[in-house]
Amino acid sequence: MVCVRRATRDDAAAIAAIHVEAYERGLGEVVDRAVLDAARLQRRPLWDALLADPPARQAVFVAEGEEIVGFVSTGPDRDPVSGPDVGEIYALFVDPARWRVGVGRALLDTAIEYLRSIGVTEARLWVLDANDRARRFYAARGWSDLGIERVDDRGTFLRLGRAL
């Protein structure tokens, strides 16, 4: 059984560790090793900064039992042409040892509740095309491909969306 709560500064190390572990375990075969190594070095400072001074209307939530086992980061859509009623799931990662037991679903549900509370009626996210597990997870929860792609050093990302 997990509880989902708002993240605090003290959660930065656990979030960074899960971010790296889940990313490497889930995408290690499709993402270049140098990119993964760079991510390992960047995650802790990134989460320290975000949790010390969170941007307006953004939120990070963690799932925990005896320890933190996953997190989700969400807020307004970062696309500058989106209106204030569009939100985004920036990141959702779960400890690989806890995959497929409902942690991701609980985190996603919490993020959607939060987005609704700030007036969002439509949500979007980016998912790596090669990440079949994540694509199936989101499709099962009503997210659909918006036909928009983005390419960076990690690969091709697909833009998914759904009404809230």
Structure-model confidence comparison of residues 113 and 152, the more confident one:
113
Query: pLDDT digits over 71-130, tens only?
Result: 999 999 999 999 999 999 999 999 999 999 999 999 999 999 999 999 999 999 999 999
The pLDDT value given to residue 87: 98
Our measurement of the distance from residue 109's CA atom to the centroid of its chain's CA atoms, rounded to an integer in Å, reads 12
The pLDDT value given to residue 34: 79
Q: What is the mean pLDDT of residues 13-37?
A: 82
For the chain, what percent of residues have pLDDT higher than 90?
A: 79
The pLDDT value given to residue 46: 93
- At residue 146, what is the residue type? L
- Tokens found for residue 119: 């007036």
Residue 15 reports pLDDT greater than 80: yes
Structure-model confidence comparison of residues 147 and 43, the more confident one:
147
Residue 32 reports pLDDT greater than 90: no
Query: pLDDT digits over 40-58, tens only?
Result: 778 889 999 999 999 999 9
* Of 11, 8, 2, 15, the residue nearest 106 (C-alpha): 2
The pLDDT value given to residue 135: 96
Residue 63 reports pLDDT greater than 90: yes
- Tokens found for residue 24: 């490497």
3-state secondary structure the chain: CCEEEECCHHHHHHHHHHHHHHHHHHHCCCCCHHHHHHHHHHHHHHHHHHHHCCCCCCEEEEEECCCEEEEEEEEECCCCCCCCCEEEEEEEEECHHHCCCCHHHHHHHHHHHHHHHCCCCEEEEEEECCCHHHHHHHHCCCCEEEEEEEEECCEEEEEEEEEC
The pLDDT value given to residue 33: 73
Q: What is the mean pLDDT of residues 1-24?
A: 93
